[in-house]
């Protein structure tokens, strides 16, 4: 049984469902981390005894510097390599895969940031996590954004809407 959609509108729905799942998952984790860490003043015993927290915070910085631009470059390169000879279904399939990779990298950075916050504290770690949530929200797939990135014709855009 082939689970791949055969209509452009179904691809668009899948892209949006994947985005909603990724976004809501990280929002829930954000809320739970903040609630547990701040309201209950929760502390791990190893965080006060060694410099593990500093190592993880430095690692977080390196990951942000490396992976965040990489996610955008990979997505842009994949979309630019798309041939105009492909049909709409193939274009949407490539776009969906590329966008998922981009969103998962951003979500990983947010997740790792929240894990470091949860384990080692530091309210300043909520700033990058909030920025990543905002970036995820700004990367929400809309028909306008998809048609702009894929250089879709008016007819192809209407096929997505129907």
**Residues of the domain holding 103:** 8-41+57-161
pLDDT per residue as tens digits for the range 37-95: 878 766 665 555 567 778 888 899 999 999 999 999 999 999 888 877 788 888 888 89
118 sits in which H/E element: helix 88-120
Domain annotation covers residue 85? yes
DSSP 35-73: IIIIIS----GGGTTSSHHHHHHHHHHHHHHHHHHHHHH
Domain annotation covers residue 46? no
Domain annotation covers residue 18? yes
Domain annotation covers residue 49? no
> What sign does the dihedral 36-40-41-43 (CA atoms) show?
negative
Q: Six-digit token pair at 99?
A: 């966008």
Domain annotation covers residue 104? yes
Domain annotation covers residue 117? yes
pLDDT per residue as tens digits for the range 117-126: 888 878 888 9
Torsion of CA 95, 96, 102, 106, to 10 degrees: 150
Number of domains in the chain: 1
Domain annotation covers residue 19? yes
Domain annotation covers residue 83? yes
């Amino acid at each position: 049984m082939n689970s791949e959609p055969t209509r452009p509108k179904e691809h668009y729905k899948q892209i949006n469902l994947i985005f909603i799942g990724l976004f809501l998952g990280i929002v829930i984790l954000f809320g739970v981390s903040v609630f547990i860490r701040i309201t209950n003043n929760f502390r791990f015993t190893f965080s006060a005894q060694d410099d593990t927290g500093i190592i993880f915070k430095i690692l977080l910085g390196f990951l942000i510097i490396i992976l965040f631009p990489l996610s955008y470059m990979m997505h842009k390169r994949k979309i630019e390599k798309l041939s105009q000879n492909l049909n709409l279904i193939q274009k949407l399939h490539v776009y969906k895969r590329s966008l998922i990779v981009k969103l998962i990298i951003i979500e990983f950075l947010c997740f790792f940031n929240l894990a470091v916050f949860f384990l080692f504290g530091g309210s300043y770690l909520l700033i990058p996590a909030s920025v990543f949530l905002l970036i995820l929200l700004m990367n929400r797939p809309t028909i306008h954004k998809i048609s702009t990135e894929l250089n879709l014709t008016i007819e192809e855009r209407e096929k997505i809407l129907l």
